[in-house]
């Protein structure tokens, strides 16, 4: 009775959680500038899109993807055979257990009239499926905790899933094992199926079960004589054999039972099988209720993502459906880390302390961003930096076993987060090439330009203008991260040879192509070199020249005195950015709208 | 020659779909055996503005990966080339930096020793293969095609780092273009930057720089610009698109990458090289292409 209540309770939580989570796909949008559509309208558009797909030749694409990518998990196999074996064990074993065992009343019993949970082949299949899941769990634990490749991050959600699976499976095995040896369980069965036997007959049956089925009886231990066993076997054939396979068929549980045989009597007295049943059942119910709030939700969303992306053309899809799809994709991520392992700039997390550089770590924060959950300025800044420290090489998308179009996601979120108005200094680097080249399609030129202006403004100290009015004390750099060689470029002695011939400035294509260059660019290359010698940092950081430098090395190549002009400009850019970051985000925990 | 690892550039996958297939096809046709190293990451170039140490780390990881597999690196992008070579120089000269970087790399079982060589794919063609080896595989050459060769900044400068060719009077890329029968013409802005690094930073300036280059090439009578670096190619494509949109002639000149130009001469399908029918028209490539067999036959008959 109470277990039925628990089941319905778990199902109710599961259903409510799923509805809540799915509704977020229609309620939120990670993109700005897209025409706002009501959740109802987006839901309608999604239904229309689904219907249009199902009644079209694309249905065959869906079927193919379902078989190849969802059932057989081709994408995973292509990336990592280890993970494929691990996941096939987990998912294959789990599906068998779910359909054949957990839902046996609904499915197995209806399909097979001879179904008995204690008869073969069901005993064997159940045990084998359980073992598969255990193998998968062990492989997952090894991958996550013992042989973790660099940049694979394991969070609470990953551990929780592994723990839930382990508890469900291990309690299942121990339950089965304790039932094999349990005398109480044996007597329960006798009470139902062996009512016609007299006491002597029951003794021979019990002897047979102790000998052959490994029941541990308080009344008798083997060895038994042949006549007793033969008599017991006849009774067994009459009352039990039809629906009871030998325990050896549940080979894993049987091994556990044999290992624990010494404690069987004592445990049986403590009602251990019943306790284990409750542990197993509660763990299952807890797992069921927890599905929509955990990465287990990917059971549903990952196939959905794979199939949607196979048939959805981003050129022709409606903006409403794109918004919904991208929200759904955020939920399809199971944090497997494949993207972060493939990420071409992932290695930089060792030097730049920002976990959001790794694609897998961005997803939960983006979900928060889309849901308008409050984020501090620091969090927004770090996420923004992580999003922009990206070469758009598309490898994360190619690696994602869920088929999530990650690169598209990053492009969309980058623009959204920039609109919060915090400066992003990586915009002032060649990483902007995709933004620049794509910009001509962007009608909203203000959205395009204002983040650039914000970054340029924040990078400058205003020193040049201020100094022109009132002389100020000079700033000497303190703790900027500069390695030896770069520091040597910056030493005043490095400029001892410079006689201000202006060759660097004359060779500079930027200076040549900028009208009114002294006004627009601030200090010109030769002046910047001289300012370094004089340690006039504020003047330098206020010069647009730094950010308009193309890094073509004409200045450095042509310098008659071998001053490392272009490389010094790079060091100065690094310093300008690290100072500006310190200035803008120093311990800033304020919320950002 | 050690075996070569092909270092592919990050920007090609989204904006230059045929760059990889053209490179693969040409390397295959020339019999250059190469390996793809799946673990390769960013060369570090775009990080130089932001954090030089992160740049060196990113570059060094690739260098160490190649070393671990006993491969030398062959890059098809100038920025990757310059970036990897400069990182090598910095690591050679700065033991403190080397120690730091190796400390970070050791976490993934990598260690940079300084054994790997970095080549541009052009360097492989010009210096490691012989002109004859390429020539004998040509099935066709161009007749009367004028090409403005654009080496690109990081192939040439800083010359004490990359040392590919003379920084002020480069000849190697021109020689490789001349192999196809095309004529490499002199043009005023040949050594200038294409402007790509400012794309998305200062677009007006980026456009001016790129457009001035294409104008200069057109005025010198070029049928097309030939590049190797994907950044330059993206930039020139962008300038062209902008010019086409605004209906101006300024900036209108097709840019092709060397593997497209050479690929046609190796008998590779224009479609596989990613050359559009429109580009074949605009550049006169199709008209200029002469089959080697026919030309040889014509020569023999005229000699007879």
Nearest to B158 among A437, A482, A556 (CB): A556
Contacts of B40 in chain A (CB under 8 A): 344
Q: What is the pLDDT of residue A471?
A: 55
Tens-place pLDDT, residues A275-291 = 999 999 999 999 999 99
Contacts of A553 in chain B (CB under 8 A): 153-154, 157-158
pLDDT at B162 over 70: yes
B103 CA to centre of own chain: 33
A506 and A442 in one domain? no
A525 and A427 in one domain? no
What the block records as the tokens of B179 is 């192999």
How far does the CA of residue A153 sit from the closest CA of chain B (Å)? 14
A344 and A442 in one domain? yes
Does residue A575 sit within a domain?
no
Query: What percent of chain A lies above the pLDDT cut of 70?
Result: 93
Contact yes or no for A484 and B96 at CB 8 A: yes
Q: What is the mean pLDDT of residues A45-66?
A: 95
A425 and A505 in one domain? no
Cα–Cα distances in Å, from B20 out to A353, B9, B16, B72, B179? Answer: 33, 9, 8, 19, 22
A350 and A454 in one domain? yes
- Kindly identify which residue of chain A lies nearest to residue B189, measuring between CA atoms: A509
A491 and A425 in one domain? no
ipTM of the complex: 0.95
Contact yes or no for B53 and A553 at CB 8 A: no
pLDDT at A63 over 60: yes
Nearest to A393 among B10, B199, B208 (CB): B10
Contacts of A452 in chain B (CB under 8 A): 201
A230 and A341 in one domain? no
Q: What is the mean pLDDT of residues B211-231?
A: 97
Does residue A360 sit within a domain?
yes
pLDDT at A100 over 60: yes
How far does the CA of residue B130 sit from the closest CA of chain A (Å)? 29
pLDDT at A57 over 80: yes
Q: What is the mean pLDDT of residues A232-242?
A: 90
A488 and A432 in one domain? no
- Kindly identify which residue of chain B lies nearest to residue A514, measuring between CA atoms: B205
Tens-place pLDDT, residues B232-241 = 999 999 999 9
Angle of helix B78-93 versus helix B230-246 axis, rounded to 10 = 140
- Kindly identify which residue of chain B lies nearest to residue A448, measuring between CA atoms: B200
A451 and A383 in one domain? yes
Contact yes or no for A570 and B41 at CB 8 A: no
Asked if the bond preceding A454 is cis, omega within 30° of 0, the reply is no
Does residue A266 sit within a domain?
yes
Number of domains in chain A: 3
Contacts of A443 in chain B (CB under 8 A): none
How far does the CA of residue B42 sit from the closest CA of chain A (Å)? 5
Tens-place pLDDT, residues A367-407 = 999 988 888 888 999 999 999 999 999 999 999 999 999 99
Does residue A354 sit within a domain?
yes
Q: What is the pLDDT of residue A491?
A: 78
A272 and A368 in one domain? no
Q: What is the mean pLDDT of residues A227-238?
A: 92
> For chain A, what's the residue count?
593
pLDDT at A479 over 50: no
Q: What is the pLDDT of residue A164?
A: 94
CB A463 within 8 A of CB A541: yes
Q: What is the mean pLDDT of residues B49-65?
A: 97
A580 CA to centre of own chain: 32
Nearest to A433 among B42, B58, B200 (CB): B200
- Kindly identify which residue of chain A lies nearest to residue B9, measuring between CA atoms: A393
Contacts of B201 in chain A (CB under 8 A): 427-429, 432, 436, 452, 547-548
- Work out the mean pLDDT of chain A and round it to a whole number: 90
User: For residue A215, what pLDDT band results from cuts at 50, 70 and 90?
Assistant: very high
Q: What is the pLDDT of residue B302?
A: 66
Contact yes or no for A394 and B209 at CB 8 A: no
Does residue A120 sit within a domain?
no
User: For residue A515, what pLDDT band results from cuts at 50, 70 and 90?
Assistant: confident
pLDDT at A112 over 80: yes
Question: Assign residue A203 a region: left if phi > 0, alpha if psi is -120 to 50, beta otherwise?
Answer: alpha
Contacts of B45 in chain A (CB under 8 A): 430
Contacts of A577 in chain B (CB under 8 A): 49-51
What is the Cα–Cα distance from A420 to A416, expressed in whole angstroms?
Answer: 7
Does residue A105 sit within a domain?
no
Q: What is the pLDDT of residue A593?
A: 45
A484 and A432 in one domain? no
Nearest to B42 among A345, A485, A554 (CB): A345
- Kindly identify which residue of chain A lies nearest to residue B231, measuring between CA atoms: A433
Tens-place pLDDT, residues B20-38 = 999 999 999 999 999 999 9
Does residue A186 sit within a domain?
yes
* Residue linked to tokens 């080979």: A251
A492 and A532 in one domain? yes
Range of the domain at A537: 478-570
Contacts of B208 in chain A (CB under 8 A): 513
Q: What is the mean pLDDT of residues B6-16?
A: 93
Does residue A410 sit within a domain?
yes
Cα–Cα distances in Å, from A396 out to A383, A414, B55? Answer: 17, 16, 20
User: For residue A241, what pLDDT band results from cuts at 50, 70 and 90?
Assistant: confident
Four-CA torsion A452, A456, A458, A464, nearest 10 degrees: -160
Tens-place pLDDT, residues A419-431 = 899 999 999 999 9
- Kindly identify which residue of chain A lies nearest to residue B241, measuring between CA atoms: A440
Model-level pTM? 0.93
């Amino acid at each position: 009775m109470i277990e039925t209540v628990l089941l319905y309770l778990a199902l109710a939580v599961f259903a409510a959680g799923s509805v809540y989570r799915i509704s977020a796909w229609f309620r939120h949008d990670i993109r700005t500038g897209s025409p706002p559509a009501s959740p109802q309208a987006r839901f309608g558009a999604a239904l229309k899109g689904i219907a249009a797909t199902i009644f079209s030749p694309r249905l065959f694409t869906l079927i193919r993807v379902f078989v190849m990518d969802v059932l057989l998990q081709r994408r995973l196999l292509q990336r990592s055979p280890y993970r494929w074996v691990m996941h096939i064990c987990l998912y294959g074993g789990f599906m068998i257990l779910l359909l054949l065992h957990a839902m046996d009343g609904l499915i197995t019993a209806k399909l097979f009239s001879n179904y008995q949970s204690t008869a073969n082949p069901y005993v064997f299949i159940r045990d084998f499926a359980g073992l598969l899941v255990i193998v998968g769990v062990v492989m997952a634990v090894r991958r996550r905790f013992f042989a973790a490749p660099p940049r694979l991050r394991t969070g609470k959600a990953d551990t929780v899933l592994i723990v839930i699976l382990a508890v469900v499976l291990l309690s299942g095995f121990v339950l089965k094992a304790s039932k094999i040896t349990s005398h109480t369980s044996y007597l329960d069965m006798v009470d139902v199926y062996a009512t016609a036997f007299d006491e002597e007959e029951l003794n021979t049956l019990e002897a047979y079960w102790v000998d052959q089925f490994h029941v541990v009886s308080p009344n008798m231990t083997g060895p038994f004589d042949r006549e007793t066993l033969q008599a017991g076997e006849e009774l067994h054939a009459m009352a039990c054999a039809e629906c009871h396979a030998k325990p050896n068929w549940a080979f894993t549980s049987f091994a556990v039972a044999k290992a624990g045989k010494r404690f069987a009597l004592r445990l049986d007295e403590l009602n251990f099988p019943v306790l284990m049943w409750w542990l197993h059942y509660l763990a299952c119910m807890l797992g069921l209720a927890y599905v929509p709030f955990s990465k287990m939700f990917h059971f549903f969303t990952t196939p959905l993502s794979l199939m949607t992306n196979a048939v959805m053309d981003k050129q022709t899809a409606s903006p409403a459906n794109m918004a919904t799809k991208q929200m759904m994709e955020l939920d399809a991520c199971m944090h497997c880390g494949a993207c972060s392992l493939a990420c071409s700039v992932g290695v930089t997390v060792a030097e730049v302390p920002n976990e959001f550089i790794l694609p897998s770590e961005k997803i939960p924060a983006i979900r928060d961003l889309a849901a308008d959950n409050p984020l501090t300025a620091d969090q927004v800044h770090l996420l923004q930096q992580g999003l922009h420290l990206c070469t758009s090489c598309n490898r994360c998308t190619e690696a994602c076993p869920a088929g999530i179009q990650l690169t598209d996601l990053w492009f969309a979120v980058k623009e959204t987060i920039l609109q919060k108005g915090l400066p992003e200094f990586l915009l002032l680097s060649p990483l902007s090439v995709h933004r620049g080249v794509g910009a001509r399609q962007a009608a909203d030129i203000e959205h395009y330009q204002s983040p650039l202006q914000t970054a340029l403004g924040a990078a400058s100290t205003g020193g040049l203008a201020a100094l022109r009015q009132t002389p100020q004390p000079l700033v000497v750099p303190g703790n900027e991260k500069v390695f030896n060689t770069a520091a040597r470029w910056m030493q005043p002695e490095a400029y001892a040879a410079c006689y201000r011939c202006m060759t660097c400035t004359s060779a500079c294509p930027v200076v040549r192509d900028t009208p009114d260059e002294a006004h627009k660019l601030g200090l010109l290359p030769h002046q910047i070199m001289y300012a370094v010698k004089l340690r006039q940092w504020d003047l330098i950081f206020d010069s647009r020249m730094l950010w308009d430098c193309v890094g073509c090395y004409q200045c450095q190549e042509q310098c008659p005195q071998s001053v490392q002009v272009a490389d010094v400009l790079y060091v100065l850019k690094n310093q300008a950015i690290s100072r500006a970051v310190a200035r803008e985000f120093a311990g800033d925990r304020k919320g950002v709208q | 020659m050690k075996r070569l690892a092909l270092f592919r550039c990050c920007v090609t996958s989204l904006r230059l779909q045929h760059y990889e297939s053209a490179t693969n096809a040409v390397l295959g046709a020339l019999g250059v055996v190469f390996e793809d190293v799946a673990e390769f990451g960013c060369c570090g170039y775009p990080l130089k503005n932001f954090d030089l140490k992160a740049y060196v780390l990113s570059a060094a990881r690739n260098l160490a990966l190649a070393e671990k597999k006993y491969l030398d690196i062959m890059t098809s992008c100038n920025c990757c080339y310059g970036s990897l070579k400069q990182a090598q120089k910095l690591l050679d000269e700065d033991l403190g930096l080397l120690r730091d970087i190796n400390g970070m790399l050791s976490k993934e079982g990598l260690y940079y020793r300084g054994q790997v060589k970095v080549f541009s794919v052009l360097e492989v063609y010009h210096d490691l293969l012989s002109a004859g080896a390429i020539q004998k595989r040509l099935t066709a050459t161009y007749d009367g095609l004028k090409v403005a060769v654009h080496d690109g900044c990081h192939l040439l400068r800083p010359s004490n780092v990359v040392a590919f060719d003379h920084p002020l009077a480069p000849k190697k890329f021109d020689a490789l273009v001349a192999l196809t029968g095309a004529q490499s013409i002199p043009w005023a802005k040949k050594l200038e930057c294409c402007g790509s690094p400012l794309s998305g930073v200062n677009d007006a300036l980026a456009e001016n720089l790129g457009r001035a280059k294409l104008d200069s090439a057109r005025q010198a009578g070029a049928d097309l610009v030939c590049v190797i670096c994907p950044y330059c190619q993206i930039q020139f494509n962008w300038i062209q698109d902008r010019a086409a949109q605004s209906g101006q002639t300024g900036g209108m000149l097709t840019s092709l990458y060397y593997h497209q130009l050479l690929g046609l001469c190796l008998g590779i399908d224009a479609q596989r090289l990613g050359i559009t029918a429109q580009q074949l028209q605009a550049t006169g490539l199709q008209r200029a292409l002469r089959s080697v067999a026919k030309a040889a036959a014509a020569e023999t008959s005229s000699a007879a």
